[in-house]
Chain A
């Protein structure tokens, strides 16, 4: 207010021009967002509405929006339904994936920020590249590695050792596959998060005599938290929806929740039941994502000055 009182006429004019420009930018921003909004409205929201509609349709029918019944949800919430076992497996594996990845990715994220120097860019690219190779191909590579008389087994035998362990088609290898597939999704948000930690703060703490563990716990970790949380959320959500690992490496030794949804849609031809299950999963993931995202400032994360 005080600034306004002493503003000269020319400054006031500049002020109103800036206001005008801000007004123009407001509409420009909304207009720029329009194509994305339309695309996601048709391609993301509408299918979810369709799934929602199917979830309340008569079981084993295709009368979407024509019938209304809660029978599908009743089937799901029936305690004898094995779908809860799948849900439990998916959640458990996802939680373990997140926990393991946090430990695996942290040193690398730290290195990308502070240790690798001019090698950082190359190392980042090497971690991004696998995203451009279909996960089928990469997971199948592990099958070739672990399979009987595969790369591991063959090499060990060639060396005169008893041969590799039989790890394929177990829940453990499914977890391994998930950790493998989702590493970049933990690594990059974590790297962004660690980049937010001001180094002079750490130096100041060190000068004042703080130990390394103390600095890590009291400064680095809390300040990098937004990035770490995004990474954890992203890996958790993707791992909940993962199917390829359980199918290719796990050999269907466990059925994960997305696989159950697929089964309902394909083999059992029960679209309404599959939809009801998808609705439950969508609500679970949606609530979790929106809750976590509401706590984050994306402008700061992605580097707005």
Chain B
């Protein structure tokens, strides 16, 4: 008993339960995805699943389409979100806090419910569901994730730099492009990562917004993973998605300062 006490009096050991937990439920599952991808239904080693992906043109098409949709959505969110964040950060009186709050509030409401509401809005206005609805819904769901990090960096920015640029003769436009935009890049990077990653892996939303007409990669994975016989192939698709996520987060680490990340919560 006293031995146990001694072990736990060193605070270093307090992290052990969590480390064990992480290994069991984070590392091991990811390894198992790889194992499933490399085995067939009987558990024998095979590379057939990978070969199948590269000859499976429908899956590759869906994958490319999803990446394209994610890129378009990220660009739209950036184009709409940057000015909004900029305006909010610029305002000198008390409204910006309330404004920022109003922009963040939808984030805390169940995204499925918001998506269903969007679908109902489209139905009510007599607008057809389809690619347009999909992009609107995605943008609607993920816009706050773009605005918030950019707003954060812009707000923390040292305003005297802008003033200095203007004192040195830069026009408003020049000081915006040469001072403000470069300084806000960390926020932009993390905004891009935070919009792109969930969009590329999204499922459920696409089904609802397009009445099952458009299938994104996430839904495809979902289909295969939940079918017992096709589970191994689903694991391969998940690995493909994991690679994309890994690349994106690498881009985020590389581009962003790292300090700004996770600022959303």
A binds B: no
- Interface residues of chain A, those whose CB is within 8 Å of chain B, are none
- Interface residues of chain B, those whose CB is within 8 Å of chain A, are none
